[in-house]
Structure 1
Amino acid sequence: MRFEVERKFLVAHEGWRAGVVSRRQLRDGLVGQFASGKVRVRLDETRAWLTIKGERVGLARPEFEYEIPRSDAEAMLAMVCDTCLIEKTRHCVPHAGLTWEVDVYAGALSGMVLAEVELEHEAQAIELPGWLGQEVTADPRFRQSTLLRLSREAGRSITLAEVLAARL
């Protein structure tokens, strides 16, 4: 069993773009939620996989990932996840020995830009890039399910200011 340990941040400015070493298009669909966990299907240009994430304790949560046939993932996105779809371009940006993932959202979350970094353990010291803004790791407003719900309720893409003003 693997534990995902990650931190999430807003992005303050476009300075990260100069450091991009790779990018890929992702489509995510929420298959289901339970207690404090979720099941997600994800597609990129070459692979598809199912991910089960358990309850977060601190920065860590159990995570199980299984590669699945692309046709199954596409069917799940179309038939199971039609109102819970995330589209984004993930940019990989190395900084101080870690790879930061900067997600530029499209579709229902168009205009949202968030950065994440995966760590080996919760106490791992990291050097924050200068292009980062506020940390939102523990902020429920920045969970993808919450962002999608806010966008659906607004009937359009939502702005960062609207997310920050949201009361949950």
Structure 2
Amino acid sequence: MSIEIERKFLVKSDNFKKQSFQKKQIKQGYLNTNKNRNVRVRITNNSAYITVKGKSNASGTSRFEWEKKIDVKDAEKLLLLCEPSIIDKTRYLVKRGKHIFEIDEFFGDNQGLIIAEIELDAEDEKFDKPNWLGKEVTGNVKYYNSSISKHPFKNWS
């Protein structure tokens, strides 16, 4: 169990792809989403996880997170029980200074949406911002994966 501290940003160009040192395919769904917690099932390449995330703090930067590795076959079965709209994305990892940005390029109903996240040790920690980083959306529930699964990007005006 831990407290996750992260900030989220929209991405304004695909220059991050040239800087990426790793990419992986992710398929994920939500067994439960509500304002106090969500339970996620994720398959990444050949690994699978179940994750419980708590409600974010007032600034949207910190929240409780618990994660456990599970069998891929079990995860595939759990995805069938998830709420509608499974998320399909490619995650790119980009090292910048002592930090690693995780940039998610979404597909399917969320095609065209690209979000970068950075995990920090403290809410006010300084970090180097790459030129492809756009508007900050930390704390904006609309950009949480659990919200995107219910209200896909293709339906935004």
SS in 2 for 1:76: helix
- Tell whether the 8 Å contact from 1:84 to 1:145 is kept in structure 2 after alignment: no
Q: Structure 2 length normalisation: TM-score?
A: 0.92
User: Which residue number in structure 1 is paired with residue 64 of structure 2?
Assistant: 62
Distance in structure 2 (CA, Å) of the matches to 1:82 and 1:56: 21
Provide, for residues 96-115 of structure 1, a one-character-per-residue CA deviation record: whole Å limited to 9, x for no partner. Answer: 22110110111221121111
SS in 2 for 1:23: strand
SS in 2 for 1:124: coil
Distance in structure 1 (CA, Å) of the matches to 2:74 and 2:63: 26
Distance in structure 2 (CA, Å) of the matches to 1:110 and 1:123: 32
User: Which residue number in structure 2 is paired with residue 154 of structure 1?
Assistant: none
Alignment of 1:31-50 (within 5 A): 31-50=31-50
Structure that is richer in strand per residue: 2
User: Which residue number in structure 1 is paired with residue 15 of structure 2?
Assistant: 15
Amino acid at match of 2:70: I
Provide, for residues 20-40 of structure 1, a one-character-per-residue CA deviation record: whole Å limited to 9, x for no partner. Answer: 100000011101024421000
Moved over 4 A (4+): none
Q: Structure 1 length normalisation: TM-score?
A: 0.86
Alignment of 1:14-163 (within 5 A): 14-57=14-57, 58=59, 59-78=61-80, 80-81=81-82, 83-151=84-152, 158=154, 162=156
Distance in structure 2 (CA, Å) of the matches to 1:114 and 1:97: 20
Q: Which has the higher contact order (CA 8 A, sep 6+)?
A: 2
RMSD across aligned positions (CA):
1.6
> Which stretches in structure 2 are left out of the alignment for 5+ residues?
none
Distance in structure 2 (CA, Å) of the matches to 1:36 and 1:25: 28
SS in 1 for 2:55: coil
Distance in structure 1 (CA, Å) of the matches to 2:146 and 2:2: 22
Amino acid at match of 1:54: G
Distance in structure 1 (CA, Å) of the matches to 2:93 and 2:50: 21
Amino acid at match of 2:3: F
Aligned length: 155
SS in 1 for 2:154: coil
**How far apart are residue 70 of structure 1 and its match?**
0.8
Provide, for residues 135-160 of structure 1, a one-character-per-residue CA deviation record: whole Å limited to 9, x for no partner. Answer: 00111221223323333xxxxx617x
Amino acid at match of 2:19: G
Structure that is richer in helix per residue: 1
**How far apart are residue 82 of structure 1 and its match?**
5.7
- Tell whether the 8 Å contact from 1:52 to 1:63 is kept in structure 2 after alignment: yes
